[in-house]
Protein backbone atom coordinates (compact mmCIF):
# COMPACT_ATOMS: atom_id res chain seq x y z
CA UNK A 1 0.00 0.00 0.00
CA UNK A 2 1.28 3.46 -0.89
CA UNK A 3 0.24 6.47 1.19
CA UNK A 4 0.24 9.86 -0.51
CA UNK A 5 -1.12 13.07 1.04
CA UNK A 6 -3.31 11.22 3.53
CA UNK A 7 -5.08 9.11 0.86
CA UNK A 8 -4.58 5.39 0.31
CA UNK A 9 -3.52 4.46 -3.19
CA UNK A 10 -4.12 0.85 -4.18
CA UNK A 11 -1.79 -0.95 -6.61
CA UNK A 12 -3.16 -1.60 -10.09
CA UNK A 13 -5.28 -4.73 -10.35
CA UNK A 14 -4.41 -7.28 -13.03
CA UNK A 15 -7.38 -8.99 -14.71
CA UNK A 16 -5.61 -12.38 -14.40
CA UNK A 17 -5.58 -12.16 -10.61
CA UNK A 18 -8.18 -13.79 -8.36
CA UNK A 19 -9.54 -12.27 -5.18
CA UNK A 20 -10.08 -14.70 -2.36
CA UNK A 21 -11.34 -13.09 0.81
CA UNK A 22 -9.96 -14.51 4.02
CA UNK A 23 -11.43 -11.97 6.41
CA UNK A 24 -13.80 -9.01 6.13
CA UNK A 25 -11.03 -6.43 6.47
CA UNK A 26 -8.37 -8.06 4.29
CA UNK A 27 -8.17 -9.64 0.85
CA UNK A 28 -5.65 -12.09 -0.59
CA UNK A 29 -4.74 -11.95 -4.27
CA UNK A 30 -3.10 -14.89 -6.01
CA UNK A 31 -1.93 -15.39 -9.55
CA UNK A 32 -2.48 -18.84 -11.12
CA UNK A 33 0.11 -18.37 -13.83
CA UNK A 34 3.15 -17.71 -11.60
CA UNK A 35 3.30 -20.83 -9.40
CA UNK A 36 1.14 -23.35 -7.68
CA UNK A 37 1.49 -21.65 -4.30
CA UNK A 38 -0.36 -18.33 -4.21
CA UNK A 39 1.54 -15.14 -3.41
CA UNK A 40 -0.52 -13.42 -0.70
CA UNK A 41 -0.99 -9.69 -0.90
CA UNK A 42 -2.98 -8.35 2.04
CA UNK A 43 -4.80 -5.03 2.03
CA UNK A 44 -5.79 -3.61 5.39
CA UNK A 45 -8.55 -1.04 5.40
CA UNK A 46 -8.19 1.89 7.74
CA UNK A 47 -10.19 4.98 8.63
CA UNK A 48 -8.59 8.09 7.17
CA UNK A 49 -9.29 11.61 8.37
CA UNK A 50 -9.42 14.12 5.57
CA UNK A 51 -8.50 17.74 6.08
CA UNK A 52 -9.81 20.19 3.48
CA UNK A 53 -9.84 23.97 3.49
CA UNK A 54 -8.53 24.24 7.00
CA UNK A 55 -11.41 22.34 8.59
CA UNK A 56 -11.44 18.77 9.82
CA UNK A 57 -13.59 16.27 7.96
CA UNK A 58 -14.38 12.75 9.12
CA UNK A 59 -15.01 9.77 6.90
CA UNK A 60 -17.49 7.13 7.97
CA UNK A 61 -18.86 4.12 6.12
CA UNK A 62 -22.24 2.52 6.48
CA UNK A 63 -23.65 -0.27 4.25
CA UNK A 64 -20.99 0.28 1.61
CA UNK A 65 -21.65 4.03 1.33
CA UNK A 66 -19.07 6.62 2.19
CA UNK A 67 -20.25 9.78 3.87
CA UNK A 68 -18.09 12.80 4.53
CA UNK A 69 -19.27 14.79 7.52
CA UNK A 70 -18.18 18.41 7.74
CA UNK A 71 -18.43 20.17 11.04
CA UNK A 72 -19.62 23.67 10.33
CA UNK A 73 -18.45 26.38 12.66
CA UNK A 74 -19.88 29.80 12.06
CA UNK A 75 -17.98 32.82 13.18
CA UNK A 76 -19.92 35.67 14.65
CA UNK A 77 -19.88 38.74 12.49
CA UNK A 78 -19.30 41.87 14.43
CA UNK A 79 -21.92 44.48 13.74
CA UNK A 80 -19.68 46.92 15.55
CA UNK A 81 -17.83 47.97 12.44
CA UNK A 82 -15.05 50.33 13.24
CA UNK A 83 -16.24 53.86 12.63
CA UNK A 84 -14.30 55.62 9.96
CA UNK A 85 -11.60 57.73 11.47
CA UNK A 86 -11.87 61.50 11.04
CA UNK A 87 -9.03 63.42 9.37
CA UNK A 88 -8.07 67.09 9.46
CA UNK A 89 -7.01 69.24 6.55
CA UNK A 90 -4.19 71.45 7.82
CA UNK A 91 -3.15 74.69 6.08
CA UNK A 92 0.51 75.69 6.59
CA UNK A 93 1.77 79.25 6.56
CA UNK A 94 3.80 80.53 3.64
CA UNK A 95 5.10 83.99 2.83
CA UNK A 96 4.20 83.74 -0.87
CA UNK A 97 0.41 84.08 -1.08
CA UNK A 98 -1.70 87.06 -0.03
CA UNK A 99 -4.63 86.83 2.38
CA UNK A 100 -7.08 87.55 -0.45
CA UNK A 101 -5.69 84.74 -2.61
CA UNK A 102 -5.82 82.21 0.26
CA UNK A 103 -9.38 83.30 1.20
CA UNK A 104 -10.55 82.85 -2.40
CA UNK A 105 -8.80 79.48 -2.72
CA UNK A 106 -10.30 78.15 0.54
CA UNK A 107 -13.80 79.31 -0.39
CA UNK A 108 -13.47 77.85 -3.88
CA UNK A 109 -12.14 74.41 -2.93
CA UNK A 110 -14.17 73.85 0.25
CA UNK A 111 -17.79 74.70 -0.40
CA UNK A 112 -18.77 74.85 3.29
CA UNK A 113 -16.38 77.75 4.03
CA UNK A 114 -17.55 81.30 3.47
CA UNK A 115 -15.22 84.28 3.20
CA UNK A 116 -15.45 85.13 6.91
CA UNK A 117 -14.48 81.60 8.03
CA UNK A 118 -11.69 81.54 5.43
CA UNK A 119 -10.35 84.84 6.78
CA UNK A 120 -10.28 83.46 10.34
CA UNK A 121 -8.33 80.40 9.12
CA UNK A 122 -5.86 82.73 7.37
CA UNK A 123 -5.31 84.78 10.54
CA UNK A 124 -4.79 81.58 12.60
CA UNK A 125 -2.35 80.21 10.02
CA UNK A 126 -0.40 83.47 9.88
CA UNK A 127 -0.14 83.73 13.68
CA UNK A 128 0.52 80.10 14.70
CA UNK A 129 2.06 78.68 11.53
CA UNK A 130 -0.70 76.23 10.71
CA UNK A 131 -4.43 75.84 11.22
CA UNK A 132 -7.12 73.24 10.68
CA UNK A 133 -9.25 74.04 7.64
CA UNK A 134 -11.83 71.28 8.13
CA UNK A 135 -12.34 67.91 9.78
CA UNK A 136 -13.84 65.13 7.62
CA UNK A 137 -13.42 61.50 6.57
CA UNK A 138 -10.17 60.47 4.88
CA UNK A 139 -11.25 60.32 1.25
CA UNK A 140 -12.85 63.74 1.39
CA UNK A 141 -9.83 65.17 3.25
CA UNK A 142 -7.55 63.88 0.48
CA UNK A 143 -9.74 65.56 -2.15
CA UNK A 144 -9.72 68.88 -0.29
CA UNK A 145 -5.95 68.63 0.18
CA UNK A 146 -5.33 68.01 -3.54
CA UNK A 147 -7.65 70.84 -4.53
CA UNK A 148 -5.87 73.33 -2.28
CA UNK A 149 -2.46 72.10 -3.41
CA UNK A 150 -3.51 72.70 -7.03
CA UNK A 151 -4.14 76.30 -5.99
CA UNK A 152 -0.50 76.46 -4.83
CA UNK A 153 -1.15 76.35 -1.08
CA UNK A 154 0.83 74.24 1.37
CA UNK A 155 -1.69 71.79 2.82
CA UNK A 156 -1.52 68.40 4.53
CA UNK A 157 -3.91 65.92 6.16
CA UNK A 158 -3.55 64.20 9.51
CA UNK A 159 -5.70 61.87 11.65
CA UNK A 160 -7.90 63.75 14.13
CA UNK A 161 -6.57 61.67 17.02
CA UNK A 162 -3.16 63.36 16.62
CA UNK A 163 -4.63 66.69 17.73
CA UNK A 164 -5.28 68.03 21.20
CA UNK A 165 -7.86 70.72 21.75
CA UNK A 166 -10.60 72.09 19.54
CA UNK A 167 -11.15 72.68 15.85
CA UNK A 168 -8.24 75.07 15.41
CA UNK A 169 -4.82 73.65 14.81
CA UNK A 170 -3.10 75.68 17.52
CA UNK A 171 -2.08 72.68 19.64
CA UNK A 172 -0.43 70.70 16.86
Residue 120: count of CB within 10 angstroms of its CB = 14
CA distance 164 to 82: 22
Domain count, the chain: 2
CA distance 160 to 135: 7
pTM over 0.75: no
**Is it the case that residue 28 has pLDDT exceeding 70?**
no
Residue 76, domain member (yes or no): no
**Is it the case that residue 94 has pLDDT exceeding 60?**
yes
Domain identity same for 40 and 100: no
**The pLDDT of residue 135:** 95
Higher local confidence (pLDDT), 101 or 44: 101
Domain residues for the domain of 6 are 2-70
Amino acid sequence: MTVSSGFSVLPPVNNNMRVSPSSPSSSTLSSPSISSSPLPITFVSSTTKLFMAGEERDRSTKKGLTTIVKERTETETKDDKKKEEMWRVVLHNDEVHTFNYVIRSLSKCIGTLDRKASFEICVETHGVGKATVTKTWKKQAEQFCLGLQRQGLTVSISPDEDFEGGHSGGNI
